[in-house]
Homo-oligomer: A and B are copies of this chain.
Amino acid sequence: MSLAEALVVFTPSGRRARFPHGTTVLDAARSLGVDLDAVCGGRGICGRCQIEVSEGEHAKHGITATASHLSPIGEVERRYAAERGLADGRRLGCAARIAGDLVVDVPPESQVYRQVVRKEAEERAIVLDPVVRLYYVEVEQPTLESPAADARRLREALAREWGLEGLELDLHVLAGLQAALRTGGFGVTVAVHDGTSVSAIWPGLHERVFGIAFDVGSTTVAGHLCDLTSGEVLASAGEMNPQIRFGEDLMSRVSYVMLNPGAQTELTRLVRGCLAKLTAQLAAAAAVAREDVLEATVVGNPIMHHLLLGLDPTELGSAPFALTVDEGLRLSAAALGLPVHPGARAYVLPCIAGHVGADTAGMILAEAPHLADEVTLLVDVGTNAEIVLGNRERLLAASSPTGPAFEGAQITYGQRAAPGAIERVRIDPETLEPRIRVVGCEAWSDEPGFAEARVTGICGSGIIEALAELHLAGVLGSDGTIDGRLAERTARVVPEGRTYAYVLHAAEPRILITQDDVRQIQLAKAALHAGCRLLLDRYGLERVERIRLAGAFGSQIDPVHALVLGLVPDCEPERVTAAGNAAGTGARIALLNGAARREIEEVVRTVEKVETAVEPRFQEHFVDALAIPHARDPYERLSQTVALPARRAGGQRRERARRAGAAAGRRRS
């Protein structure tokens, strides 16, 4: 009987071979290189190797499989089921033995390298392959005859049971080694980082470790706590960057550092404190021990990158904008002051250029233009806009100084996207009356429920929509002038000094869009457009196939309105989409997949940096792009691409424009 063999097919991999009866499913899987997890090394403790057997005749595989072709449930599985539960039809691969032909299904949760489910439909999948892995081992006890050091016996066990050779042991692991061995009855779980060093140790079986992906922005710092064994995001949190008190924009902070000795240390302390605070919040929200956090990844713009690392950002404040360091950095999490496991590591994604930072690297990792045939334009708009253009052939990157107008700064009634900020605007081209929506309230201003909404100002996406709608309604000319002649027709257009303004909210607080506001947005959008245009020139393209708008602002603005206003170059409107927090997603990918780190390091080395400040054509493009839209006959061009009305076009065209706007409104509501 023991010499009899059976055909075993594993799904979904399709790997197959004949095995002697009595072979465990785990051993069969391992011999075929089938991805079947087993932290405890096949001792029936961890339950990670659960499998299912497909019943019936498998024509595809040419075998008849049945659960009776597995050995009966024995002591190990009964004990596991009693202690931790085992779903119907599930078996432990380390205990169940082959007794006949089988089709063995490895469910996703039993795979080590499983795919992580992402909410965003369009992006690449994340394959789980974290740099830190857990291994349970049983270590030999020392005797007077064989009293080798504990570290040596641990290493021997790791080599014997897991084939892990030559591991370094962190000092704090040594410090906890003897207690762990003796508390765990010489059975311990270790965390191995990068396959080279033991970074943590626990007595007995330890099954879950966590990581945090940080996105360190100038204004907000966000963190996502992930389960490194499932890839799941367990908690997300954001905090205002406490450096804001030293300047809203990055250059103020750089100036502050230049003018105040010791200020850099203070700014570093503040941002590290913010990460520490977030860590505590995330751990509490996910009901996870901070000591079980073993990994962190960080993205951020170059100045935040430098300040977090304790590097002087002064050089980034003036030409030639030399970074101190651009490569990806592997550090101890303690070096960044993170209150997590002492053996935790941190990975800081690489920077690309003086104004194109690790946040852009994260965006590239998330959007993966380097893997696509199609040429994509990625835009992350903040105080600077980071712009990436290209495909698998070639990638270009630049930064464009848009200024803070898109974030609501330098706008008369501007504010951040906080509750009360006007974020959606529709203007009736006939009556010139607006409808608005504010952050924190689902209702439009002409719907029931809006009455309770508090209106406080207008945020970046609101101003973009307002200007695009004003333009579509004919209030705003292509040169950006508010048409004062309309003051006769509507009370919404009012004189304001020597120019005119549009009254977006007539009740208290009265909110106007002034001529100066329009100029600020014109300057910002011209900078953005010119940067994009420069990259297209450099790439030798007239038109881009696909645009992805990333970041908070990029996710809030409506792509159609962005096109109307000419923020980005022409593109099919349905190919202009929001990418969400791509930088943060990149940090999460780097957290969950070690190969992604090497991938982005490779990619950034090949990125061609375009320095807008020294490109003479940037100024030309900038001047060209001040108009709304930028082309000489913008309405005509837009009407071709976006199917929006030219200024004096008939009702039908106008109606199509309204529908486009309404559709955009629905998408965001």
Contacts and interface: CB of A to CB of B under 8 A. Distances in A.
A327 B142 contact: no
Contacts of A164: none
Given A324-B149, A327-B152, A144 B319 contact: yes
Interface in A147-164: 147-152
A312 interface: yes
A311 interface: yes
A320 interface: yes
Most buried by B among A145, A174, A329: A174
A116 interface: no
A247 interface: no
B312 A150 contact: no
B326 A149 contact: yes
A179 B329 CA distance: 20
A587 interface: no
A331 B143 CA distance: 29
A174 B329 CA distance: 11
B325 A174 contact: yes
Contacts of A179: 312
B322 A354 contact: no
Copies in the complex: 2
Contact of A144 (B150, B169, B611): B611
Contacts of A451: none
B178 A309 contact: no
A310 interface: yes
A143 B315 CA distance: 12
B149 A322 contact: yes
Interface string A224-242: 0000000000000000000
A523 interface: no
Contacts of A614: 144-145
Interface string A53-97: 000000000000000000000000000000000000000000000
A325 B169 contact: yes
Contacts of A145: 614
A323 B149 contact: yes
A311 B149 contact: no
Interface residues of A, number: 42
A321 interface: yes
A566 to B, nearest CB: 28
A171 interface: yes
A174 B175 CA distance: 30
A175 B310 contact: yes
Given A175-B312, A309-B171, A310-B175, A148 B331 contact: no
Contacts of A150: 315, 322-325
B147 A331 contact: no
Nearest to A177: B324
A102 interface: no
A335 interface: yes
A354 B315 CA distance: 54
A268 to B, nearest CB: 9
A515 interface: no
18 contacts: A142-B320, A142-B322, A144-B321, A144-B614, A147-B353, A147-B354, A148-B326, A149-B327, A149-B351, A150-B323, A150-B324, A151-B323, A151-B326, A152-B327, A174-B309, A175-B312, A177-B311, A178-B311
Interface of A: 142-145, 147-152, 169, 171, 174-175, 177-179, 309-312, 314-315, 319-327, 329, 331, 335, 351, 353-354, 609, 611, 613-614
Given A151-B327, A152-B326, 9 more contacts: A144-B614, A147-B322, A147-B609, A149-B327, A171-B309, A171-B310, A171-B329, A175-B311, A177-B324
